[in-house]
Structure 1
Amino acid sequence: MTLEEYKKEFTEDDAVGWLEIDKEFDRLYPDQEPKHYAPPISYMLGGEYPLDGVSIYESKKQTDHFHFVTYGFSELYYNEEKVNGEFSKWGFELTFRLKPFEGDNGNPPSWAVALLQNIAKYVFSSGNWFEEFHFMPANGPIRLETDTDITALVFVNDPEIPKKQTPHGEVTFLQITGITSAEYESIKDNPGTAEELVNKLRENNPLLITDLNRK
């Protein structure tokens, strides 16, 4: 897209990158209005949370689960200087699929929104971004004060959302998937085996939905 085309198609009021994310989720969940969590004060105005929002959809695929998506790792708003970049800001947004957990009493889990914001704090402050088959410890259970073996995360490409070219550059939808302490230890010692672990998890769980009760 040329700058001229960009100016013709969008105005300064358009959240150009945000709309690109919405397109993918409208395709997956037509007619569904997601629950949306936005921080009280935006990061641009000095708020502590880097992401401008997280939306939560309810999926019936494979097994009922929540499907989260972040807004803020990519360039969300009208910006002529960012047209045709190679990557849109960090070049990705995060997704997360979570099997409902009894401790959340059927409510969309706000702890998972906090988890995504904490990953964003790490990226924005360190300048380190993520790619497929990267992994990280959560320094404890991913849901705080919960008796679960899921204490780390591996990053995979979201199985339902392909990488896309946006007017601001490439955006990959990277899904975080919870892994157990033992799984984390095994890939920490051999980082090259992360892909192998993911393929093994996919055998029974093609969408790589996180289940806090998995042992």
Structure 2
Amino acid sequence: MSENNEPDFCSSGWDAISEAFEKLYPEQREPYHFGTLISWQLGGNDPLDGISVYDGGDFYHFVTYGLSELYEKESENQEYSGYGFELTVKLKKAGLRDSEAEIRCMAGILQSIARITFQNNEIFQPYEYLYTGQTTGMDAAGTSRITGFITKLDDAGEIQTPNGKVMFVELIGMQDDELKLLVEKKIQVRDILRLAPNLMCDYTRESLADKLSAESEVHV
């Protein structure tokens, strides 16, 4: 990926995403941006055409460009744009040893998740989880306890673009013991968000597994 490599032509789908985030961050007209050198359609490895990173104060707010139709309408589905969603992440700044490395790492993770959609037509929606069983952290050094994600609707919500609806689906970093509770159906994603409504991708936070287990026992 190359930095600050936005498309040179006007594109309604792309612009709609940018406008949605400019409403959240009106003073950030030129966020940090990753573009793709060779598009997926031309044989490139990165399915996303771009990823922007906004400064949310205590966190970096990522948004993808490419899971929806950024340019002309091509799909037959008139209700939704492309796959109907774009991914977002809020990466907490506290505890990051090398912010630039972590921003690049997260951009790579978003490309990898988008690749799942492009290759398998998998649609990600709020209140789901992504569990791979990996034990190494998703941070650049691989030392954090964050190994997967849950999803919820991002602050940017859902927008109507000229190419159809686009929902912004936020990925929230989760630890292995928390994810196993979901896999074993002892809790649901909504239980986690009810217990920790302001949860984001935080590489240094303590595990919520004990609290979640206690919560599940109360509701048995």
Q: Aligning the two structures, in what range does the TM-score lie when normalised by the shorter sequence?
A: 0.7 to 0.9
For residues 4-42 of structure 1, give each alpha carbon's deviation from its aligned partner in whole angstroms, at most 9, with x where no partner exists. xxxxxxxxx531100110111111111212010012211
Moved beyond 6 Å, runs of 4+ = none
- Secondary structure at 1:156 match in 2: strand
Q: Determine the structure 2 residue equivalent to 1:209.
A: 200
When the two structures are superposed, what TM-score results if normalisation uses the length of structure 2? 0.82
Determine the C-alpha separation between the residues in 1 that align with 2:175 and 2:141: 16
How big is each residue's C-alpha offset from its partner over 1:100-120, in whole Å with a ceiling of 9 and x where there is no partner?
Answer: 243324666100000000001
2:15 counterpart of 1:24: no
- CA deviations over 1:49-97 (Å, ceiling 9, x no partner): 000000001012xxx1100000000000023x55871111110001100
Q: Are 1:154 and 2:145 matched, yes or no?
A: no
The residue that corresponds to 1:34 in the other structure is 31
| Alpha-carbon distance in structure 2 between the residues aligned to 1:197 and 1:94 | 20
Partner of 1:91: 84
| Residue 135 (str. 1) matches residue 123 (str. 2) | no
Task: Show the counterpart of 1:10.
Answer: none
Map 1:1-215 → 2, pairs under 5 A: 13-32=9-28, 33-60=30-57, 64-79=58-73, 81-82=74-75, 85-100=78-93, 101-105=95-99, 109-138=103-132, 139=134, 140-158=136-154, 160-190=155-185, 193-202=188-197, 205=198, 208-215=199-206
SS at match of 2:70: coil
Structure 1 residue 192: deviation in Å?
6.3
Identity over aligned pairs, percent: 34
Any stretches of 5+ residues in structure 1 without a counterpart?
A: 1-12
Structure-2 separation of matches of 1:166 and 1:84: 13
Determine helix, strand or coil for the equivalent of 2:126: coil
Partner of 1:51, secondary structure, is coil
Distance 1:161 1:67 in 2: 11
Where structure 2 has 5 or more consecutive residues not aligned to the other structure, the ranges are 1-8, 207-220
One-letter amino acid of the structure 2 residue matched with residue 53 of structure 1 = G
Question: Quick one: which amino acid aligns to residue 152 of structure 1?
Answer: G
In structure 2, the CA distance between the partners of 1:83 and 1:137, relative to structure 1 (3 Å rule), is closer
* Contact 2:101/2:140, CA 8 A, preserved across alignment: no
- The two structures have a TM-score, normalised by structure 1, of 0.83
Amino acid paired to 1:89: G
Measure, in 1, the Cα distance between the counterparts of 2:75 and 2:179. 37
Q: Aligned residue for 1:6?
A: none
* Cα shift at 1:186: 0.2
Deviations 1:158-193 (CA, angstroms, capped at 9, x unpaired) = 1x2121121111110000000111110001111861
Paired residue for 2:6? none
Structure 1 window deviating more from structure 2 (83-92 vs 31-40): it is 83-92
Letter in 2 for 1:102: L
Q: What secondary structure is seen at the aligned counterpart in 2 of 1:22?
A: helix
What is the root-mean-square deviation in Å for CA atoms of aligned residues? Answer: 1.9
Deviation per CA, 1:126-162: give whole Å up to 9, x if none: 111111111112533222542211111001101x212
CA distance in 2 between partners of 1:122 and 1:15 (Å): 25
Which position in structure 1 is the counterpart of 2:214?
none
Residue in 2 aligned with 1:4?
none
Answer whether contact 1:51 1:117 (CA < 8 A) is retained: yes
* Structure 2 CA distance for aligned equivalents of residues 84 and 26 of structure 1: 27
